[in-house]
Structure 1
Amino acid sequence: MIESAMTEATMIEVNGLRKLYDDYLAVDGVSFSLRSGSVCGLVGANGAGKTTTMRCLAGLMPATDGKMTVAGHAVSTDSIELKKCLAYVPDDPPLFDDLSVREHLHFIGRIYRVEGYVEKSQALITQFDLIAKADAGATTLSRGMRQKLAIACAYLYDPSVLLLDEPMTGLDPPGIRILLDSIRQRAAKGATVILSSHLLPMIEEVCTDLMMMRQGVVDYFGNVSDLRNRHPESTSLESAYFAATQLHEQANPSQAVGVLA
């Protein structure tokens, strides 16, 4: 749990992750590690294996092969400890239809035994501009408000690892700015964040690392500035991504797939 800035320990370790659905290999030999305070942008075309990787890392589906640890806990065996230190927010977060915004947060606070959860809930409601909807039911919320509520619930118990799958879906520009600022603040306190997004111009300013996936494999993993240095003609992370993708497709024409949707 985050209470003060952590030392730069390895928080996520993935070695040889493979996920097979029947006869379809969705993730093939993915390996990477992230230290505390890192914000890793996870990018790639639709169907590249991004969500599967995140769901396996969150312990929501079993890996076919490979080893994964989060904050020193083995994903395959330490499920209870994993849930205490990790939060996963999917691109279409499930909410409880019968609970209001405030009740969602209070429920999470009680489940995770968060000290002072009432005050922390109110602070998050304010931070994510949900005050006007604090007592409204989940079914009355817009797509963007549902997203903000799910992120607030994830933040409430201060997980040391955050997995955010397309968290900007449905958010308006002020909402995106609030989210990115909050990610930066969490990372500064030691949280490790994996942020899956197609909006490279939006995430460039907060990401320290980048992982590019294609057809279940990792094409690039490393520092954001290193990728841009490899393509000095690029003026942004987005243009560096497209340059790297184009080089790969030229070298492997039979494996060319669609780029970011």
Structure 2
Amino acid sequence: MLEVQGLRKMYGKNLAVDQVSFFVPDGSVGILLGPNGAGKSTIIKSIAGLLRYEGMIRVQGIPSRELEAKRIFGYVPEIPSMFEALSVREHIEYIRMAYKSRITDQEVERLMERFEMTDKADKLGNELSKGMMQKVSILCALAVKPQVILFDEPMVGLDPQAIRELKEVILELKSQGVTVLISTHMLEMVEDLWDIMFVMEKGHVKASFRKEDVGNRDLDDLFFEVTGGEKR
């Protein structure tokens, strides 16, 4: 589970996130939805421990700043960053060692096959396209075998096959009881994935919805109803 309570983040005099609270239970896919600048990435980076903030974040009941919490969640950033001199396989091995992951060699090979990276295994970080770097970020996060995993705009830059594979992986994680949080502004990419949705605007969670409560209502309609915009 992932719990955020009273999260507040200032950048200088600018208030990016103001008293944000939400909860995503085990085995659920949460969506942090909002336009660019709404504060989604600030929340994700706070959860990942990349920013200082006010408030409380818990991962499986453990304060997110504690090492025990860091070992059980994975993070896929919006902009992937590679070690230039490490190969794809070495990136994954580095994560396995750092997190003392229980993932097996066979599971690693299967993941690389699924994301069509087997023939790229020996390519160095500085030889990869943006799409391939995104795939490596996903593979590294999955190699942790996390109990909670965070995705920040994960489908940007991926080819259609990789998008389909990632969606399947997310649903598999859900079935295994993993908590998933996806930050995005791409409604069409998450409409078949989500269980609970948090609509953000100007640093606040304006509304939350559970899938079973909204039925077949269109995500666009829900979003623009909350934010006061117009569907195009």
Coarse TM-score class (shorter-chain normalised): over 0.9
Residue matched to 2:38: 48
Aligned partner of 1:74 among 50, 63, 68? 63
Whole-Å separation in 2 of the counterparts to 1:224 and 1:113: 36
Q: Report if aligned partners of 2:199, 2:226 keep a CA contact under 8 Å in 1.
A: no
Larger Rg: 1
Q: Report if the CA contact (8 A) 2:102-2:145 is conserved.
A: no
- Asked if residue 120 in structure 1 is aligned to residue 120 in structure 2, the reply is no
Q: In structure 2, how many angstroms separate the alpha carbons of the residues matched to 1:32 and 1:110? A: 32
Alignment of 1:76-155 (within 5 A): 76=65, 78=66, 80-115=67-102, 117-155=104-142
The secondary structure found in structure 1 opposite 2:71 is helix
The C-alpha deviation readout for 1:33-71, integer Å capped at 9, x for no partner, is: 1110110111111110001111111222121x2222111
Paired with 1:115 and 1:17, the residues of 2 have a C-alpha distance of: 32
Task: Give aligned pairs, total.
Answer: 232
2:28 corresponds to which residue?
38
**Secondary structure of the structure 1 residue equivalent to 2:166:** helix
Indicate the SS of the match to 2:101.
Answer: coil
| One-letter amino acid matched to 1:87 | G
For residue 221 of structure 1, give the secondary structure of its aligned residue in structure 2. Answer: strand
Distance 1:186 1:138 in 2: 27
Match of 1:189 among 172, 176, 179: 176
Contact 1:210–1:223, Cα closer than 8 Å, also in 2: yes
The alignment partner of 1:98 has SS state of: coil
RMSD (CA atoms): 2.0
Q: Percent of aligned pairs with the same residue?
A: 39
Structure 1 runs of 4+ off > 4 angstroms?
none
Unpaired segments ≥5 residues, structure 1? 1-10, 251-258
The Cα of 1:158 is off from its aligned counterpart by: 0.6
- Per the TM alignment, residue 152 of structure 1 is displaced from its structure 2 partner at its CA by 0.6
Q: Secondary structure at the match of 2:55?
A: strand
Shift of 1:225: 4.5
1:253 is aligned to none
